Structure 1
């Protein structure tokens, strides 16, 4: 049966940087001279730079012989690239503008823009010319644009050079601004014990005093929580005696409670012996995750020397029936195994002191051995019982399905078609991970093969050769401007022998993409949903046949703290925010946010801590959620309760307020998460507000990202439309 894992969501952009250059060419004598230019009637500008290349404007004039009085007329305009000695083709667009020379604006400027970019080949040492066009408005009304007083014609030319930002033109960024610090919740809680901060309970174990914190123990163990109830004597005891447990085991159990992980065995220490001791402690204090971790260690290390000790340990422990079954399976795996176990001193001792236990185990082993012998796979081919075939022991791993999504955005599609317009040429997305494998999307704008030249092909690339077969189901989708979409699915099994790309060679026609799916900014976005299935398999093992028990993930610590915050049990600090009372636990606040703890310490003499300076109650609760869980709360829940404010984006408002709180109380990871959330959701409508937030709180990376975003050619115009309304919004 397949098991589903959490979905992974990523995105990448094939971003093209634009480098612009402008040049003004003043042509004197245009209205009075009968001839302009050299023998061929051309006037050349000085060279100018655009995108790191040298360009020249070339104007050609025509002598009107029939009407000599009119002199010459502008016949054509060309743009010349001096040379291109790089390994990449130069892709450029150009525009020509001739203004009304009077400066009164009576006549609109005569303009021409290239509809498609032009490609100048790579590795060319000769001059390459591109024929532009004389604006139609100028041809029809030449007298308006020629300055008779100055005897001059002025031609403006703008050149935009498009260059990819990386080799494949796309990078996947899990974090748009900067990678936040890793979660520190476990480390911070562990420091409470390691650095002995504010302990409030002491345990006496083998005459050794060990300090701890009631809040952490009660949060992690139901048994400790029951002991610390108001009606229990342990509630008021300053020192609690622990019997039937060694100091080493109790310390190891405390390490797990605080860190949610097993301690590292000391050099020379036996990992199995530690797991055996901790299994008893976990059962005693109802630490389910610790018990399962110990069971797995013991199951994986069963051998003749320890199988009887493990069976004695789990005997009559109903929670450990899987481990007992593993021991029985090992003993029944063959006559040699059971005979070797019978020869051990431990077995002989137990046979004398606990014959009833040995008798019970022997029956279970015999029952399992009989079941094996009755299996069709274990029957003898000779038809007699002179030899007994030993059944192999194996472990079955069920299949698992992991899903993820990736959005691949291709900017300036018309430009990219010029550089990747031949069949067989593709654009690759940034890499992303699903199911433990690294993937990328390859988009062929003119088909993978020459016969599919009119189609867009979409392929899925597995970037590293898999060790085992990987079954994949991929769904690709394009959305049009009206919310409608087309999508197609393909499935494939990538093998070690055949890991090549697979996909849809005729996903849609290029004509359909241009007419329906190219956005107003000239970009094309490919949506991909991926499901990766790890096939179920059965492999040989040396000991047990039962599957290992599933150990819950280490996020239990965060979930326990989140439950503690929601229940408001055991709180000892009361915050007053916007006249709302918000309860918290001083121990958690102190270890997670020293700055907020300073505020608590400064409020001595009162029964509450006032938080002002414009802090909202909802923002403070969101910050507490981060302090207790190391993650931001669901933003949808917060924006849903934001009152309508004309001109303000709810998400930018909410995340901006959380960013301010993170900066105020020096929560670095929260600050970074807020910065990335703002960057991920930036739009022309909120770009200026996001930039202002970044500057106000000193977020240099976010500020740089906003400036880069606003400067994009297809964005800057839309941003400027919001400038006047942004200036009217009160800060």
Structure 2
């Protein structure tokens, strides 16, 4: 028996500390007019052995942000360099739940209180929230706002440790055959519980699949007008070939092969997709028609766009006409 192949791996897992602080700013309107760059501090709180506070700027961090309230995190421990992530949230006072306003940076900013530059130990959101939006929001109630600060402080990086691992045999995963199975379900009619008569031709399908894929079918099949005894839908204003292609998409999430070569059929399919609120199918038809515009089809295609809300296709038609006129 052959010995298993081995490989090595290592991991560096930083040691971190997490903490949160809630800062209530009462008398919101009394603080307005403090002036850009002026702030109110929260009480000092500790995370990871370092002292921090929240700064609230009612008139913005600077003149550039005077129409906003600014919120920052300040490292108060002296002569320290600390890497930390932070989130700043406001309590929605209608629900009592905090809502994230400023997401922590992707990289870890270094708070540095060793340098004399005042900005090095202060990080945050100058454009935290526009004042007029805050005052019209559920975050401000009874002249009070509540700021949450969640912090993750990196204490130190643990040296990487090598570990021996056994290489697992490679197993090839076959592609998904779900769409093929559903296509066979449609073709074989097994378990079909609804019939659809389209201009004299009858199709058989499954109520659950139709209702799941189209809100219009869902309303027809589960609404008050549905006849449980007849189990039949009648569609008179559609070609059977168009409905067959629509049904194919319902079950396989794809258009029949070579369908994009028939521009007239593609226009009919776009109308059908819009009728049954199948947005993905409609967009696929719109993309194909955009790519296959020609002098013979552009006018007929343009006639559809306003009625069925195809703004991208309309733009493509107009641009095509401008180029060739």
Short-chain TM bin: 0.3 to 0.5
Question: Higher relative contact order by CA 8 Å / sep ≥ 6: 1 or 2?
Answer: 2
More strand by share: 2
If the length of structure 1 is used for normalisation, what is the TM-score? 0.22
